[in-house]
Amino acid sequence: MKQARTRQRWTRRRWVITIGAALAAIALAAGAVWWNASRAPAPQATEVVKATRTTETTTVSLAGVLAPQQQANVSFAVPGTVSSIAARVGGRVDQGAELARVDDRDLRNAVALADAQLSAARAQLRTAQDTSGVSSAQLAAGRAGVQAAEASAEQARSRVADARLTSPITGIVAQVSIEVGDQVSGAAGMSSSGADLSSLGGLSGLAGSLGGGQATSGGAHVVVIAPDAWKLDAQVGTADLPSIKAGQHAVVTPVGTSISVAAVVDTVGIVASGSSGQAATFPVTLRVTERSDALFSGSDADAVITTGTVEGVLTIPGEAIWLNQNNATVRRPAGSGVDIVTVTTGRRFGDRIEILSGLGEGDEVIARRSVVVTAPPRPQFGPNGQLASPDPSTTPAR
């Protein structure tokens, strides 16, 4: 039979200790709450500034991709086997210089055959002319045969010239997509603008554009660019489109650099290029007017276009605007206190706000002082993962 468990009675001392611990915990909690509540937040740093009239500029920011203003995408216009390549990526070529060549033996044989056919056509015409009783129709047919043979011979000679692929511009070779021994189809067409190519041989395979038009390498055999003239192909939204005009000045900064170059707005598109379901964007091309070694084809760049200048506009720093129930207000010093004044704001110029009413030139207002927070310097690690010392004499030895 199990014995009943004896219930221990609490002694007076045990009650005193328990109650005392509970009261101490409550006191500590209450003290922490009071201490936190009594701590007043540190006052925000402010400064007194004046409303001033200044000359401000309105700008539009956009981003795009750098591309050469002149780019020639050239391909062979005749079929054959590539026999030699003179172009080298990064190499400079002059206008008319040979870039590559295909084996022209079949083409020369075609010239010989065309010349033979021309000789035969001329002989037939002479025979007809020396034969009595030949009708005028027969003579006309003979003359037409000679003319056709002459055209075929001329075309055959032209195709021999097309066996040499030459550069239509002076520039730098940006791409070579063929190798010796490759078979080319010679199906390339010709498209050009901004240059007279009639005096250059081997250009019937020019595929792309010359001048300021859009140009993509596509399946071009060789791509040549002019590295001393650049443009920025960018996009702009509907809201900013009306303020951008051709001829406006701009500054272009390649991403990842601190170098800026001058530019002007060249073209402004009026047909949206955004896809269906997305916000409409319009193409804008900026022509870079300043030379720089920091510009590379296909690299990203930011641009700021100056769209207008406003003189004598009354402005204050944006940090001097205080919102009170969605109303813009300013705080004006008044003895030991401040007066809250409602103002009407206008345009924003960088970190300054235009004041349309409520303040006059020279009026003092209180502005929040900006606090710049800088990240601590990243630790520099030396050999074996040890922190590198800024003192060379204490740098751990390898």
The answer to whether residue 218 is domain-embedded is yes
Query: Are residue 84 and residue 169 in the same domain, yes or no?
Result: yes
Residue 391 is predicted with a pLDDT of 42
Query: Are residue 253 and residue 283 in the same domain, yes or no?
Result: yes
Last residue of a domain, one of 309, 332, 350: 309
CA distance 97 to 87: 9
The answer to whether residue 247 is domain-embedded is yes
Tens-digit pLDDT string for the chain (398 aa) = 455 555 556 566 666 677 777 777 777 777 766 666 555 555 668 889 999 998 888 889 999 999 998 889 999 888 888 988 999 998 999 999 999 988 878 777 777 888 888 888 888 888 888 888 788 888 888 889 888 888 888 877 777 788 889 999 999 998 899 999 998 887 654 333 333 333 333 333 433 344 444 444 557 899 998 888 899 999 998 889 999 999 999 999 999 888 999 999 999 998 888 655 678 889 999 999 998 888 888 899 999 999 988 889 999 999 999 888 888 999 999 888 889 999 999 988 878 899 999 999 999 999 988 655 555 554 444 444 444 444 444 444 44
Residue 128 is predicted with a pLDDT of 82
Query: Are residue 76 and residue 222 in the same domain, yes or no?
Result: yes
State the CB neighbour count (10 A cutoff) for residue 338: 14
Query: Are residue 127 and residue 216 in the same domain, yes or no?
Result: no
As given in the structure block, the two tokens for residue 234 are: 């960018």
Task: Name the burial class of residue 230, with classes exposed (0-12), middle (13-18) and buried (19+) by CB atoms within 10 angstroms of its CB.
Answer: buried
The answer to whether residue 362 is domain-embedded is no
Query: Are residue 208 and residue 91 in the same domain, yes or no?
Result: yes
Tell me which amino acid residue 41 is. Answer: P
The answer to whether residue 27 is domain-embedded is no
Name the β-bridge partners of 143. none
CA distance 121 to 115: 10
Residue 24 is predicted with a pLDDT of 74
| Residue 85, domain CATH | 2.40.50.100
Query: Are residue 142 and residue 93 in the same domain, yes or no?
Result: no
Query: Are residue 118 and residue 81 in the same domain, yes or no?
Result: no
**pTM for this prediction:** 0.55
Q: Is-contact 150 120, C-beta < 8 A?
A: no
Last residue of a domain, one of 179, 195, 228: 228
The answer to whether residue 38 is domain-embedded is no
| Residue 278, domain CATH | 2.40.30
Query: Are residue 89 and residue 217 in the same domain, yes or no?
Result: yes
Total domains in the chain come to 3
The answer to whether residue 40 is domain-embedded is no
Query: Are residue 271 and residue 146 in the same domain, yes or no?
Result: no
The answer to whether residue 13 is domain-embedded is no
CA distance 172 to 190: 21
Query: Are residue 176 and residue 301 in the same domain, yes or no?
Result: no
**Containing structural domain, residue 124:** 104-161
List, edge to edge, every strand of the sheet that includes 322-324. Answer: 322-324, 327-334, 337-342
Query: Are residue 76 and residue 189 in the same domain, yes or no?
Result: yes
Residue 350 is predicted with a pLDDT of 79
Last residue of a domain, one of 228, 252, 270: 228
Residue 207 is predicted with a pLDDT of 38
Q: What residues contact residue 363 under an 8 Å CB cut-off, 6+ apart?
A: 50, 51, 332
Query: Are residue 87 and residue 218 in the same domain, yes or no?
Result: yes
Tell me which amino acid residue 97 is. Answer: A
CA distance 29 to 161: 97
Q: Is-contact 315 352, C-beta < 8 A?
A: yes
